[in-house]
Amino acid sequence: MTFRCDCLGCPIQIGLYINQIEPMKSMKNRRQLLLASSATALATLNAAVLSGCGGSGDASVPLSDVELDNQMAAKLAAQLGNAATAEALLPYIKDMGFTWSLPTIAAAQINTIVAYGFGNRPNAASGNTSSAGGNQAALPDPGPTNEALADAVYRIYQLKPVKIFAQWEIARFLVSKYNMVSPNMISIEPIIAADGTITYLSTDGVAAAVVTQQGSAAALGNVGVVGHRDHAKRCIVTSANRGMKAYAVAEVALPTAYDLQSGQSWTRQRDLYLVHDMYAQFAVKTGSLIAQAYPQG
Amino acid sequence: MSNRRRFIFLSSAAASLPLASTLLTQTSLAHAAIPFSEAELVRQMTAKLTLELSDATTASTEVGYLNDLFFNWEAASIAASQADSILVFGFGGRSSGSGASTQVASGPVNAVIAHAAFQLYQLKPVTIYAQAEVASVLMASYGLDGSKVKSVQAATVSATGAISFATLEKVVSSAVTAAGSAAALGKVAVVSHRDLSKRAVQVATTAGLSAAIVKEVTLPTDFDVLGLPAANRRRDLFLLNEIVNKFAALRANLITQAYPNG
């Protein structure tokens, strides 16, 4: 992998970032991590991938997961006054703060497509999506990001025509733009409350609805997940938490654009959305860990 | 810290992989040569996120947020002599009974928080504004009456027995109301559980208070396995929950700043 040094004004292109994400996930402790990654790390150290950079930090130090790990563990242990607690937190910090790459699968291997929406366009009746979680008075328009997601769904479908579950904002475009009117294209519709107001579906709400409609997660087989590129990791994790074997499809790039007119303000710009997404990841994970530790509350 | 880490790396290599001893020793020494520094942490985080996001500008922005959210747990501090008032945040509590007869007890962590508050009061006897679960201990065990301790925001119990402890924001706003204004509190010395103190000071500061912890007082680090809410029973879970709370506040602030009109 190549990487451009981010030191202010630094012209250096770095040839290698030592990526040990997969080994890190399977390691039981840091000692094993160190041992397992030593060959790669040493090779890179010997290659002296960074030299002459005048920015902050030590330019002679390789940029790698191992070094990142060391630095994070050291600071956290110092701040908390406890190395063991720092070690306990680090896997979550690395996963939810620093991992945005996606597990992928070849289109040929998928059995189902599940597509998660991203933002919307408000209209006069709907207004913006409530940031406080309140219900909307009327459906917004799906908006351009969901159109791009529908395009991605269609490209995957062309590679492997399988059953599609698409959040309604995407499903509208699959019908209007690609004429995908079929029992094998199922729209996951929002929940209309008794008073007529609309409960916006959460990522988990969509995943749960897909499993319910299919009868079981296993019956979906290998699931090709479609979502905005920055939402896709959480879509895949959420799908997996609902029992799906979920992946991004290797051949089809996911949309990366942000819609400045989105009805959900947190989906209008990338820096803000990532904060929103990490918040959601941590909230779900922490809730799950607390529930596991104390099932009686 | 760096010395201890060097020892770990060296001993793990020496003890565990004799067949590859040359390789490992070199690797371990290479690691040992890299002490912690703030600049190096930022450099490594920025490189990793740039790779993951394919976007150096966004990575740099996020690193600023993440460094604070994940890796800064120490609140600003002042000397006790500078304090004009003391603001004490509770740390959950315990419950007894069930259903509608559920009662909230202060519990052992609020007891040690009360002790820390009293230590501070002895250094600087100024008015204490304390969350009710701590104020009750200060009154019962330390002989401070209502003229010295203002109790704010007791936990509430629903008809089904669900307990709600006051948020940090509620405690701050109640203290301001009790004092008459934020200015009337002057320099506020915050006392709380150690792991809550960073956010407690932040919330107080956001509400317009001049707030900090006090250098001379060691804040409690205890966790109560019988405490409520459940996140307050174990340090790792509590810190993760604090990260959630910090993300929630950051998210709300960023949205408000960027889109004040929604």
Where are the domains positioned within chain A? Answer: 3-71, 104-290
User: What contacts B39, CB < 8 A, 6 or more positions away?
Assistant: A56, A57, A58
Structure tokens at B117: 């508050």
The pLDDT score that the predictor gives to residue A102 is 97
Predicted pLDDT at B187: 98
Closest alpha carbon to B122 in B89, B152, B148, B91? B148
Check CB contact under 8 Å for A35 and B239.
no
User: Do the beta carbons of residue B97 and residue B103 sit within 8 Å?
Assistant: yes
The 3-state secondary structure of chain B reads CHHHHHHHHHHHHHHHCHHHHHHHHHHHHHHHCCCCCHHHHHHHHHHHHHHHHCCHHHHHHHHHHHHHHHHCCCCCEECHHHCCEEEECCCCEEEECCHHHCEEECHHHHHHHHHHHHHHHHHCCCCEEEEHHHHHHHHHHHCCCCCCEEEECCCEECCCCCEECCCHHHHHHHHHHHHCCHHHHCEEEEECCHHHHHHHHHHHHHCCCEEEEECCCCCCCCCCCCCECHHHHCHHHHHHHHHHHHHHHHHHHHHHHHCCCC
pLDDT score at A33: 30
Report the candidate in A26, A32, A39, A24 with the shortest Cα–Cα distance to residue B16: A32
pLDDT of B4 reads 37
**Res. B20: pLDDT tops 50:** no
A39, A270, A290 member nearest B230 (Cβ): A290
Report the pLDDT value the prediction gives residue A2, as an integer from 0 to 100.
Answer: 43
| Whether pLDDT at A39 is above 90 | no
Q: What pLDDT sits at residue A124?
A: 84
Determine the Cα angle at B247 with ends B241 and B248, to 5°. 90
Any CB–CB contact under 8 A between B14 and chain A? no
DSSP state of A220: G
pLDDT digit string, tens, across residues B60-77: 999 999 999 999 999 999
Examine the pLDDT at B166 and tell me if it is beyond 70: yes
Predicted confidence (pLDDT) per residue in A245-262, tens digit: 999 999 999 999 999 999
Helices (H), A81-221: 83-98, 144-159, 168-176, 203-214
What's the pLDDT at A200?
Answer: 80
- Please count the other Cβ atoms lying within 10 Å of the Cβ belonging to residue A119: 26
* Nearest residue on chain A to B259, alpha-carbon basis: A265
Residue range B185-207, pLDDT digits in tens: 999 999 999 999 999 999 999 99
Stretch B130-136: mean pLDDT, rounded? 98
Residue A16: band (very low, low, confident or very high) from pLDDT cuts 50, 70, 90 = low
B230-245 pLDDT, tens per residue?
A: 999 999 999 999 999 9
Q: Is A60 on the interface with B (CB under 8 A)?
A: no
More reliable by pLDDT, A26 or A147: A147
Tell me: pLDDT of A59 over 80.
no
Give CA torsion, residues A92, A96, A98, A103, to 10 deg: 110
Residue A263 three-state SS: coil
Residue A84: closest C-alpha in chain B: B236
CB nearest B72 (choices: A77, A79, A265): A79
User: How large is the average pLDDT for residues B146-161?
Assistant: 95
Domain B77-233 in CATH 3.40.50? The answer is: yes
Number of residues assigned to chain B: 262
Q: Is pLDDT above 90 for A4?
A: no
**Cβ–Cβ below 8 Å for B71 and A272:** no
Minimal Cα distance from A281: which residue of B?
B244
Q: Which among A32-41, B96-105, B116-125, B253-262 has the top mean pLDDT?
A: B116-125
Closest approach of B167 to chain A, Cα-based (Å): 17
> Do the bridges between strand A112-115 and strand A222-226 make them parallel or antiparallel, or are there none, so unpaired?
parallel
pLDDT confidence of residue A45:
30
Q: How confident is the model at residue A19 (pLDDT cuts 50, 70, 90)?
A: low
* Residue B6 pLDDT level (bands cut at 50, 70, 90): very low
Q: Are A14 and A55 in contact (CB under 8 A)?
A: no
CATH architecture of the domain covering A104-290? 3-Layer(aba) Sandwich (3.40)
Beta strand pairing status for A245-249 and A104-105?
parallel
* % of chain B beyond a pLDDT of 70: 87
Average pLDDT, chain B: 89
Contact between A224 and A105 under an 8 Å Cβ cutoff? The reply is: yes
